[in-house]
Structures are given as C-alpha cells and as structure tokens.
Chains A and B, each alone.
Chain A
Amino acid sequence: MTENNYKILVIDDMSIIHDDFRKILLPTENQSAEKLEEMKATLFGKTAAATALPPFQIDFAYQGEEGVRYVQNAIIEKKPYAVAFVDVQMPPGMDGVEAIERIWRIDQEIQIVICTAYTKYSWEDLQKRLGDTDRLYILKKPFDSIEILNLASTLTKKWNINKSLYDELLALKKSSEVPQSEGIETALKKMNENVAKLKNLNTKLNEQQRKNITS
C-alpha cells in the first residue's frame, strides 16, 4: 500500500483567496491544545478525541500559466496533485477553463474544482470545452469553509481510491500473465472492495453535487 496523496493546488489571482485556503485547510493549531487533551485523560478519565484534518500539502499559483507549470513539474517529479481548485476569472492571463483544458492534457487523474463568482459558462459550455467527465466540480464564490473542507477531503480520498484501484488492476494484469489462482482471487477480492468503496464515494459525491446545484 503506497502512502496517500494529499497534494492540493490552488490557482487564483488573488493572494487573499490563497490565505483563505490556507486558513481552512492548514489551520493554526493552538499549541497547548494537545498537551491539555493528554492531561484531561488523567484528570477526568476518558474524553472524546478531537478529529484531525488530513495532512494536506498545498501549493499556490496566481495565474493559469503558472498553475499548468506546477502540474507539469509535479508529473515530472512523479508527485502529482490529487486536487486542484481553479478560479475562472484570472485577468490578465488565460481563464480557468482554459487552464483546466491544459492541465488535463498533462494529468488525466487530477480532480478539479472550478471556482466562479458568476456563471460566465453554462453547463453546455463546460461540457463542450472540458468533456463529459467525472473529475469536475463546481464551487460558487463566495464559498463556505465547510465546502472547501468537504471537497478537499472527499476528492483526495477519491483520487487515492482511484489510484489504488488502478494499481490493483495492474497487479491483476501482471498476475494473470502468470496464472496463479490464489493471486487472482485475492486481487479480485480487493478489487471488489475497492469497487464498493468507489460506489459509496460516488454516491456521496453525487449528493454533494446535487446540494451544490440546488443551493
């Protein structure tokens, strides 16, 4: 099992939006909180543990061109991003939709959230430009922190499940070349598990998308 990927790329022309992502996904922890929690167990007995965020790693780009370069370099270094949040309106350079077209030419696996303040593009426009895909999500600005938290954690999970599924498939292909009934059985079992996970995740994603559309 390889290590999970929590790499995120934010492409937005405003530095204050970068700060927003940083605040939400990499919150400043109160340094005394952990020590207090440890001692609370001794003082009051068992207490509920606080839930921690996944260890996100975030890079920031100001322009589409810059963002595309980041994705390119990540692919070359074999440390691809799992998720990108891309702003639509980024004057004076290319806009977000063009940036996404270029990014997907380089990296077919990256999950993308397109952030927009107003609907310059219709659903038909987006489908025409970006294709019928399962990797695109729409987020309206101004966004809520809970939406960013939700998208970042769900989509990194989705990326990692896709990756392990792909790895399993490769392994299965390899093992089927040298027939070993046991190997196939284990791989199939794992694959089944992954398919179930994926289905479950997809339901969640669909639900979120529906909420996004109706809200």
Chain B
Amino acid sequence: MYTNLMQRQLKRYLKEDTVISPDWQALLDAVNRSYEHYERDHSLAEHSLKISSQELVIASRYAGMVEVAASILHNVGNILNSISVSTQILTMRNEQNNKAEDLIKLVDLLESHRGHLEVFFQTNPAGIILPEFLKQFANYLDNEKKFIQEELKSLCTNIQHVKNIIMTQQVPGKSTEIIEEIQINNLIDDAITINSMEKYGIHIERIYQKIPNFFGDKVKLLQILVNITKNALESLVESKKKEKKITLKTTMPDPAHIHVEISDNGLGIQKEMLMKIFTYGFTTKTAGHGFGLHSSVRSMQEMGGELKVYSEGLGQGATFILILPRTISSRSEG
C-alpha cells in the first residue's frame, strides 16, 4: 500500500491501465519509502513544534507570575514591617505603664493617714490634690485605652491587607487555567490597586460601561491588566509630565466582544518600535527583561482575544486595547 502522496503522484502521471513492469516496481517502492520517511519526519516536526510552543506559553506565563510575585513580596514585606512596629509599640507602651504601682502607693498613703483622713484631705498638700490626681488618673487610663485601640485597629487593617493580597494571588498550583466569573471593571480596579497607582499623583479617569459578568481565566487576565497598567505607570513616572493621566475605558462594541482601553499620556512609543514591543525579550527598561508584554499577548491569544497598541510617537502617550470574546475560546462556561 502506497502513501497518499505516492498514490496521488501515480494517478497524475500514469494512465489507469498502465501495467508496471517488475523492473520499475523496485524503483517505485524506493520512492514510496522516502515519501514515508518524509511524512513521518513532518509529523514529528509538527508534534515537537506544538509541544515547545505550549512550553513557551507556560514559561512566559510563569515569567508574568514572577513579576506579579515580586511586587506582592515588596508590598507584603512592608506591611509586615508595620505589623511588627505596631506590636513593638504596644509592648513598649504596656511595659511603660506602671500605673498599678502608683495605685498601690496611693493606698499605702491613705493607710498611713487612717484615723485622721479628714485632716489629711483638708490640710495635707498630698490630700488636697488627691481628687484631682484621681481625675487625671482616669483621663490617663482613658487616653491609653484610645491609643491602644487605635494601634490595634491599624494592626487589624494591616493583617487584613496581607490577607487580601494573598487571596487575590492564590494561583492554584500548576494548573494552566481556572475559569471564573469576571466583572471586568472590578478586575481593572484590582490591577490599579495592586500597582498602588493612587500614590504617584496620577489622575485616574474611569470611563466604564456597564459590562455583564463573563467567564474566563481571571488570574491570567489580572496578570495582563497588572502588566499593562504597570507599564503605563512607569512610563508616566519617567515622563516627568506635570499632569499625569491614565484613562481606563470599557466598552461592548457588539454583544460578543468586550474592549478594554488603557491609555496614558506618558513617554509614548516610536512608530518603528510598535511592532517590536510584543516580541520576546524586547525591553526599553533598564531593569526589564522583556517578558511582560510578550506573555500578555500570548495569554490574550490563548483566551481567543487580541492585544493591540497605538501611539502617535515619542511623548504622545500610548493606548493598549484588549479585545476579549465574551465566551472565552472553546471552553464551556462554568
């Protein structure tokens, strides 16, 4: 039995009733064998290409995760510092509080005047100020209680903060995707929070359309959003513009697609660079490694979406557009 390719060739060059002489038969067999080899090599090559592209997807995804993890470690580490300072201050304050001793001394004082307390309260300087002392004592205890309450409150807030950061990051092990319900406007706000965007004096404009929830890989999408907003932030900070602005916009141009537009008025991108910025290992940052946008664009493709960039050139800011299908790729909802 000849390979498909061989059969096609025979059909093309020989008439149906051609009788092949045994002399030729050996040659035809040899040609067929090389076709067989070719087909096997081809499918092998295809197979390995598929495997390595999957590996690349996973690797770039991990690279993105590393970036997110580094920023999270930085935040959690600092909050931990605050937590430890709070406990130390509470401990110190508690150690310094020796008011019980004062009360004991006060009791001793009263004991020593037992029997003529009236005289003590009326004539002894210590007795005269004693009521005022007790009043101040009550004030002191009340102030101290408020101070401790305040410190405990900040302690609780910080612990809650760490919890939240860890919760938003619970990436389940090695599994490559988890489908969850996504509210895109909230997810963009999460990305802004993770980057602590507010504190850089950047004006954040939100033009959110009401977008229905949809299902997709929430963690992956969050990573992309964190990545793109972080780039915008860095570009804005470096641009040293007076009025730094980032615009977040969500729209639904048709019922099947959601658009997320992230624009900044930062450094912008040269025309020649626009194509290059998504390539693996390309970076303009001194400390960058060029994984971020590359992994973002791959992730978007995996989700059946697209990632586009526009910029009028250097100093003109940049706009990234995420085009998301409402039903992500072939996965079933839920």
Which residues does A use to contact B, with CB under 8 Å? 12-17, 19-20, 23-24, 27-28, 30-33, 35-36, 39-40, 42-44, 50, 62-63, 89, 91-93, 117, 141-146
Contact = CB atoms under 8 A, between A and B. Distances in A.
Interface residues of B, number: 43
Nearest to B140: A32
B136 A36 contact: yes
Interface stretch (B37-45, B230-238, B272-280, B326-334): B230-238
B92 interface: yes
A142 B77 contact: yes
A212 to B, nearest CB: 16
Contacts of A35: 136
B78 A17 contact: yes
B78 A141 contact: yes
Given A39-B129, A40-B102, A92 B233 contact: yes
Contact of B133 (A14, A39, A62): A39
Interface of B: 71, 74-75, 77-82, 84-86, 88-89, 92, 96, 102, 105-106, 109, 125-126, 129-130, 132-133, 136-137, 139-140, 143-144, 147, 154, 158, 196, 199-200, 230, 233-234, 237-238
Contacts of B237: 63, 92-93
B88 A144 contact: yes
Contacts of B130: 43
A166 B86 CA distance: 39
B78 to A, nearest CB: 4
B77 A43 contact: no
Given A36-B136, A92-B237, A43 B84 contact: no
A6 to B, nearest CB: 20
Nearest to B102: A40
A169 B82 CA distance: 43
A146 B144 CA distance: 21
Please provide the 4 A-B residue pairs with the shortest distance between their CB atoms, ordered closest to farther: A32-B140, A142-B81, A32-B139, A92-B234
Contacts, number: 98
Contacts of B125: 42
A151 to B, nearest CB: 14
A145 B87 CA distance: 10
A14 B85 CA distance: 14
Contacts of B106: 43
A142 to B, nearest CB: 4
A22 to B, nearest CB: 10
B82 A30 contact: no
Contacts of B238: 92
Given A23-B89, A89-B74, A145-B92, A30 B81 contact: no
Contact of A43 (B81, B126, B140, B144): B126
A44 B107 CA distance: 11
B80 A28 contact: no
A145 B89 contact: yes
Contacts of B105: 43-44
Given A92-B237, A145-B92, A15 B158 contact: no
B195 to A, nearest CB: 9
6 contacts: A39-B133, A43-B105, A62-B200, A91-B74, A92-B200, A93-B237
B129 A142 contact: no
Given A16-B79, A16-B158, A24 B74 contact: no
With most chain A CB atoms within 10 A of its CB, the pick from B84, B85, B88, B147 is: B85
A169 to B, nearest CB: 40
Contacts of A93: 237
Given A40-B102, A89-B74, A142-B80, A30 B133 contact: no
A146 B96 CA distance: 15
A115 to B, nearest CB: 9
Given A12-B78, A33-B140, A62-B199, 8 more contacts: A14-B78, A17-B81, A19-B82, A23-B85, A24-B85, A42-B129, A141-B78, A145-B89
A15 B198 CA distance: 11
With most chain A CB atoms within 10 A of its CB, the pick from B96, B126, B158, B230 is: B126
B143 A36 contact: no
B137 A36 contact: yes
A44 B109 contact: yes
